[in-house]
């Protein structure tokens, strides 16, 4: 039976409008603060076959960009959001495809389909990363067991 604990690093970044810098906002329990600081210090780079997937959620994209505030469907067309994603990628050493923009529910009373789609798309991508990680881990363990039999 194959059992393994999986850790997927999540960092939430909030885009600030009136500054050129990204604000790193940790939305994790205090016991993980040192781990996140180490992640930033090492640029998010890991070696070895069991590389843990790292995902960044870029939050409050609607507040950062007027284009996106007007139409959330344009989040992937916004040059400003793209620039912020690239900046986060450079700072953290995480690939651009692992930085996912989302809009926060903070003043809305009712649900919004566009906000939900963006959040669920991000969740789906996180699940894909976790699935890929499990598949790779399983294949490596299978190869190791096969080699030990021979």
Q: Write the pLDDT tens digit of every residue in 118-130.
A: 999 999 999 998 8
- In the block, tokens 């906000």 appear at 115
Cα(123)–Cα(14) distance, rounded to whole angstroms?
18
> Under a CB-based contact definition with an 8 Å cutoff, are residues 17 and 63 in contact?
yes
The pLDDT, as a whole number, for residue 91 is 79
Residue with the larger pLDDT of the pair 31 and 65: 65
Helix axes 33-41, 79-92, angle to 10 degrees: 90
DSSP, collapsed to helix, strand or coil, labels residue 14 as strand
The residues spanned by each domain of the chain are 52-148
């Amino acid at each position: 039976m194959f059992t393994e604990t999986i850790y997927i690093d999540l960092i939430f970044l909030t885009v600030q409008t009136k500054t050129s810098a990204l604000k790193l906002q940790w939305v994790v329990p205090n016991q993980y603060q040192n781990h996140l600081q180490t992640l930033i210090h090492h640029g998010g780079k890991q070696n070895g076959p069991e590389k843990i997937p790292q995902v960044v959620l870029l939050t409050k994209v609607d507040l950062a960009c007027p284009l996106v505030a007007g139409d959330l469907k344009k989040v992937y067309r916004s040059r400003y959001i793209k620039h912020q994603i690239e900046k986060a990628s450079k700072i953290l050493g995480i690939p651009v495809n692992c930085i996912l923009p989302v809009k926060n529910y903070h003043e809305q009373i009712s649900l919004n389909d566009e906000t939900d789609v963006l959040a669920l798309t991000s969740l789906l991508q996180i699940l894909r990363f976790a699935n890929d990680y499990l598949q790779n881990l399983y294949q490596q363990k299978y190869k190791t067991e096969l080699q030990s039999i021979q």
